[in-house]
Amino acid sequence: MNRLNRWLSLGLVIILGFLLGISGFSVWDKSPAAADRVAWSAQTQWIAPQAPTYRFYARRSFFLNDVPEAAWLRLSADNDFILYVNGRAIARDRNILYHSLGLGSRFSEDFQRANDSVAYRSRGYDWIQLANAKDWKLTTYVDLTRHLQAGRNTIAIEVQKSRQNPRVVVEGAVYPLSTSPAIDLATGTTPWLVSNLNEAHNGLLWFDRDFPDESWSSARTIGSVREGTYNRLSPRLFDRFLEGNWITGIESSQGEVWLRSDWQIPQHQFSRAFIRFAGDGKYALLINGLLVNRYEADRNNDLHMYEVTNFLHPGNNTLAVHLTRPIHQLGAAAPFNPLGFFLDGWAETKSHAVIAPIATNNTWKTLEQPVSGWYKGEGEGQAARVLGSPDVQKLERTFEGDAYLLNYPDYLWHFWLWQLAGVGCAVVSAWSLGRFWLDDRHSWWNSLGAGAELLLPGTLFLIGIGLLKHRYAEAERGLLFFQQQSDSLILLGFLVVVLLTLLWSWRERKLACLGLWLPMGLTAFVSLSLVGSVGVSPASMCLILFGFGAIALFILLPSRTRHDFIHRLATAYQAYSPIWNQWLILGAIVAIGFIVRTYNLGFVDLDADENTSLDATRGILRTGAPQATSGIWYTRSPAYHYMLALWLRLFGDSVVNARFLSVLWGTATLVLVFILTRKITGKAWLALIVTAILAFDPSQVYFSRFIRFYQVVQCLSILSFWLFLKGFVERSGRAYQYGFFIALTLTILNQEVTVTLLPCFFVGFIFFYRPFRWADDWQIVVSSIVSMGIIAYDLVFFSIRCLTPWVALSDSTDAYLKVHFFSISGLANNFFVGPSRMHIIYSFFFFLGWIYFLKRRDGKTLFLFNSVSINLILLTILIYQIATRYTYQIYPIFILLAVYSAACIAESLASKFEVFTRNSLPTRGIAIASIVLLLILNVEPNRVLASYQDALTRRNNEAFAYISSHRQPGDVVISTSPAAASTGLGGLDYFIPGNIRFDVFYWNNGRVIDRWGGGKLISNLDQMSHVLENSKRVWLHVDNHTEGRFEPVFRDYIETLGQPIMETFGARVRLWKPEDGVFPHVPYQGGDLGAY
């Protein structure tokens, strides 16, 4: 065995060991908190509004004679919500306007998400053709106790969905201090009122406690909760009354108190454990000598709630607390209250039944001075002194997750012990299988390599599962990996794969049956024990056994029968796969891609960029110049806008026709990607896979239905790369070189930022086109000069005629296309991670492939790798706005390289191992099949198909269309988001920006106007009042995306102005009339642009 094969075998076995260690750590040692299914009451029902709408508002009011002893609720909202209690927002999930974000990624309750995975830091946001994550599958628990008061109380919920069937389910209770019965909050059994409009009355918003809701209708019930919703915490954290008292102990002269107690955990039935605690001063809590957490002073009103399952063991456990008085209180003349500590906790069974409760009382012990090991039970103590019961109205409950994850020393110690054990187990297993199973006794390395090949399918299984688990950590499918015993099932799957591999090798090599039963028996024993611990349902178990039996029967077929079957399949493939057949398959893929790009083409409302391009194009149709409704020239991307103008002139000016042009370019891109991939890889089947991935890719589908230049640019960029390879790498003729310059020039004329492609091709030219002779290659020089001249003219004209004049300080007072070093990692992070981690697996193979092809010195492939990297580097330092749509031109090449790398690495890895078992295993087929299956599982076609019924963008054009159809002469229109006014209304009167943004305002004839509709800037409430005083009727359009840009006073002014008229997804329309009154004058505070 050569040195490379030795290190490859050892590396693969070590990787397997690490993966086994991770599984063993989570299965048998420190299990992560699982996402359990919520047990909703049979009487609790989903509620919805009486009429279809994208958003509705719900209220539930009740009276209390006194403050409550406890109050809580849990809710699942389809799909986003804001929860208000007595006029204050206390919990929210605002994911709906940003549909490509992960499951529950904008939950206000951080530790109630599906898992403890930390989201990748990303900046900016990109739209893609992907349905919203089903956030309603995550149930949110909220404590209401401190938010309620004596008298009238109101719980209000705003629910919004990207379809016109939003719903919400609530369950909870309020427990008064008196003997009065609990107040039920469940939807379906209690009186919830709903409205489709964001109403206000005399300055009171719809969620205020005293808002009159007599005109609201009763909620419509639509059935009980049959779908699974999940949460990782225990409902006892909220519905269980606080037990115990504040206690204190002997305080030392340094202001320190030491407290301790024992906690008996039963041997059986113990599943999970939780604690709730609060303390005075600086304090730290330890369990069995392990730190739970430490807190600073002045946080005694925070009730910290943790899961502490991994700190405990059956039998006696020790809780220890160290409290320290703040230094400013030491030696003070005035006496201070004693340092107090409160805790209650309990263990639970799998059915959430409470066992082994613990609470602070006089059974706790206090020590005068700590002794060695005091936190483990050493030393005698005195009884603690009880201070009194906790005031539930002052305690703010916060669930802070699994406390064990914060104890890094113990966590890492156990984790790496399991890693070492896993590596040792993998090495011994691989060597034993090679030595005794395959009888390879040539050397220790040969035995290890042969055994590593036998374990290769299982290793690939664990690697694939690990990648998918990481990829779907922020997606709905991730719930499969974070439920009870999911890690046990993964380990069971690994053992089944190993067992099938052993069965195959035994059948191929006809090994002695005696040698077969020992490993199969051990594997079956471990598998059955895992199945028993998992508790698989009988139906699932039958399905597993059926699948295992079918594969096993195929393996046990006579060798000639199996080989004949495989040979017939291969013969049939060769007989029916001539060259023309690959084009037939390509045609089917392209046809499907065309269908998914054209289906329901006009449903989604126009994005701001679409409005910009459509408005500029209509300006060309009106005047011959790209003049926006505001009067500003939009000279960016002239090739695209004039091409779109010609298209609309020929086929009619409509949104569908404008989008259909992008559909055609997007479909053509699929064909070009196939041609380029086949040229680079030399494999038609690989080119078909890449084309199929891009045919359903969410970003590809979205921008192929988008009125903007991105799809044209991408198609021309792919064409440029193909022509460059033909003309300058293979030197196939001058026609390809001329075609390259034409395609590249058109690419940049369609989007100026693609000048970042020039260095990529320049580097490629220097590397490949040698020798260069001036006499023979003067045509290249002339073509370059002509292309650069056209590009330079476009850039200069754009900089003179299109850039925004600076009129005020904003979030950026400089050009977006300029060298900078702001957020260097932002664009690359967004590109390689992708929305909801969609690009993680591609990036994994991309970087592995870069190393692989560097070793192979494959020039053409490395040219593409370098082009992607150079483009990202240049875009990072040139583009101020972080958005992956600026990398759209290189995205297909990124996918091409990732898939090609995965296939090459799999084939190379398999070929290295086939020598050990003399081809007794179809290693190459297993490796390639694993890669293909992983790439298939990486995509979410169900979310892509579901997105055609979702409102992916805010429906501002629909709102302006409503205003246009109901507008009367003399009416004034004001908007917080003016982009859609240019195409949906034909212009705007006034624009309210909130905080000042770059590339929005223009100085025009002594006025500051917006760049789209020409609306005059309103920067303060004085100007707003002046508009109302001089207008008969005022229409106000509010974009939900802009609400966070306003100061609270300005936002409340807008939300209570006039009457709500119409609401749609992400937008509202209000109408003010003089009889509605002018709001009282708000004192001018300065800090804005003033009155222009």
> For residue range 1004-1025, what is the model confidence (pLDDT) as tens digits?
777 888 889 999 988 888 888 8
Task: Return phi, psi of residue 747, to 5°.
Answer: -60, -50
Cβ atoms 116, 405 nearer than 8 A: yes
* Residues 152-207: tens digit of each pLDDT: 999 999 999 999 999 999 999 999 987 789 999 999 999 999 999 999 988 899 99
User: Following CA atoms 810, 812, 813, 814 in sequence, which dihedral angle do they give, to the nearest 10 degrees?
Assistant: -170
Inside any domain, residue 383: yes
What's 380's domain CATH number?
2.60.120.260
Does residue 216 lie within any of the structural domains?
Answer: yes
Q: pLDDT band for 550, please (50, 70, 90 cuts).
A: low
Q: Please state whether beta strands 282-287 and 290-295 pair in parallel, antiparallel, or not at all (unpaired).
A: antiparallel
Q: What are phi and psi of 680, to 5 degrees?
A: -75, -45
Give a yes or no: residue 981 inside a domain. Answer: yes
Per residue in 439-458, pLDDT (tens digit) is: 777 788 888 888 888 898 89
For residue 369, which amino acid is it? Q
Per the omega criterion (within 30 degrees of 0), is the bond before 293 cis?
Answer: no
Residue 1059 lies in a domain: yes
> Is residue 903 located within the same domain as residue 825?
yes
Note the pLDDT of residue 499. Answer: 83
Cis (ω within 30 of 0) for the bond into 266? no
In angstroms, the CA 706 to CA 953 distance is 12
Tell me the pLDDT band of 515, cut-offs 50, 70 and 90: very low
Question: Structural domain of residue 976, as residue ranges?
Answer: 956-1076
Q: Residue 119 burial by CB count (10 A; 0-12/13-18/19+): exposed, middle or buried?
A: middle
**pTM for the whole structure:** 0.90
Q: How far apart are CA 615 and CA 621, in angstroms?
A: 10
Which of 55, 139, 46, 45 lies closest to 97, judged by CA? 55
Last residue of a domain, one of 948, 976, 992: 948
Amino acid code (one letter) for 741: F
d(CA 859, CA 231): 51
Tokens standing for residue 314: 């059956």
Give yes or no for residue 218 having a pLDDT over 90.
yes
Residues shown for the chain: 1092
Q: Are residues 258 and 320 in the same domain?
A: yes
Closest to 744 in 3D by CA, of 785, 722, 786, 716: 716
The count of structural domains within the chain is 5
What is the model's pLDDT at position 241?
Answer: 92
Residues 969/1080, Cβ–Cβ less than 8 Å: no
Give the C-alpha separation, 50 to 197, whole Å.
12
**Lowest-pLDDT range of 63-72, 305-314, 500-509, 931-940:** 500-509
137 and 268 both lie in a single domain: no
Phi-psi region for residue 278, left (φ > 0), alpha (ψ -120 to 50) or beta?
beta
DSSP alpha helix (H) spans, 258-339: none
Hey, what are 629's tokens?
Answer: 């409704």
Confidence of residue 816 (pLDDT cuts 50, 70, 90): low
DSSP assignment string, 400-451: EEEGGGG-HHHHHHHHHHHHHHHHHHHHHHHHHIIIIIS---S-HHHHHHHH
Residue 246 to residue 515: CA distance in whole angstroms: 66
Label residue 620 exposed, middle or buried (CB < 10 Å: 0-12, 13-18, 19+).
buried
* Region 870-874 average pLDDT: 94
Same structural domain, 943 and 834: yes
Mark whether 150 and 177 lie in a shared domain: yes
Number of neighbours of residue 535 by Cβ within 10 angstroms: 12
Distance between CA atoms of 1027 and 1079, rounded to whole angstroms?
A: 12
For residues 125 and 9, membership in a common domain is answered with no
CB atoms within 10 A of CB 344: 21
The b/e string for 910-943 (b: 16+ C-beta within 10 A; e otherwise) is: bebbeebbeebbbbbebbbebbbebbebbbbeeb
- Within 10 angstroms of residue 402's Cβ, the number of other Cβ atoms is 21
At residue 515's C-alpha, the angle toward residues 512 and 517, to 5°, is 115
- Please tell me whether residues 95 and 171 are part of one structural domain: yes
Q: Which residues contact 878 (CB under 8 A, 6 or more apart)?
A: 753, 756, 817, 818, 819, 820
Look-up: residue for tokens 């692989």? 852
Sign of CA dihedral 738, 742, 747, 752: positive
- Quickly list DSSP for 976-1009: S--TTHHHHTS--SEE--SS--TTSEEEETTEEE
Report the mean per-residue pLDDT for the chain.
87
Residue 237 domain-assigned (yes or no): no
Say if residue 279 is in the same domain as residue 321: yes
Q: Which of 295, 171, 191 is nearest to 238 (CA)?
A: 171
> Are 373 and 454 within one domain?
no
Question: What dihedral do alpha carbons 719, 721, 723, 725 form, nearest 10°?
Answer: -150
Residue 784 within any structural domain of the chain = yes
User: Cβ(429)–Cβ(32) under 8 Å?
Assistant: no
Question: What phi, psi does 426 have (nearest 5°)?
Answer: -65, -45
Q: Roughly how many angstroms between the first and final C-alpha of the chain, as a whole number?
A: 81
**CA 538/CA 534 separation, integer angstroms:** 12
DSSP-derived letter for residue 771 is: S
The amino acid present at 438, given as its one-letter code, is L
Please name the residue that has the structure tokens 């002997």. Answer: 250
Please check whether residue 1088 lies inside any domain of the structure.
no
Residue 475: inside a domain: yes
d(CA 493, CA 984): 56
Residue 64's SS3 state is strand
Q: Which two tokens stand for residue 306?
A: 């943790």
- Identify the residue whose tokens are 């870069």: 850
Distance CA 616, CA 626 (A): 5
Cα 892 from Cα 875, distance rounded (Å): 17
Q: Does 861 share its domain with 719? A: yes
- Cα angle vertex 515, ends 514, 518, to 5°? 90
**pLDDT higher than 50, residue 70:** yes
For range 32-48, the mean pLDDT: 93
| CA separation for the pair 12, 3 (Å, rounded) | 14
| Nearest-angstrom CA–CA distance, 885 and 880 | 13
Confidence of residue 560 (pLDDT cuts 50, 70, 90): low
The residue from 208, 231, 254 where one domain ends is 231
Q: How confident is the model at residue 809 (pLDDT cuts 50, 70, 90)?
A: very low
Instruction: Let me know whether 735 and 884 are in one domain.
Output: yes
Q: Does 615 lie in the same domain as 500?
A: no
Query: Burial level of 3, CB count in 10 A (0-12/13-18/19+)?
Result: exposed
**Which of 177, 207, 231 is at the close of a domain?**
231
Backbone φ, ψ for residue 551 (5° rounding): -65, -40
pLDDT tens per residue across span 373-401: 888 888 888 999 999 999 888 899 989 99
- Among left, alpha and beta (phi > 0; psi -120 to 50; other), residue 631 is left
- Quote the CA–CA distance of 248 and 279 in Å, as a whole number: 10
Of 656 and 180, the structure prediction assigns the larger pLDDT to: 656
Pairing mode of beta strands 217-218, 151-160: unpaired
pLDDT tens-digit series, residues 943-981:
899 999 999 999 999 999 999 999 999 999 999 999 999
Please give the residue that has the higher pLDDT: either 527 or 271. 271
CA angle 643, 647, 650 (to 5 degrees): 140
- pLDDT mean over 489-503: 85
Per-residue confidence (pLDDT) for residue 554, from 0 to 100: 57
Higher pLDDT, 844 or 1029: 844
Handedness of CA 553, 555, 558, 562 (dihedral sign): positive
Looking at residue 501, its pLDDT comes to: 84
> What are the residues whose beta carbons fall under 8 Å from the beta carbon of 552, sequence distance 6 or more?
500, 503
Q: How far is CA 105 from each of CA 111, 138, 217, rounded to the nearest angstrom?
A: 11, 11, 32
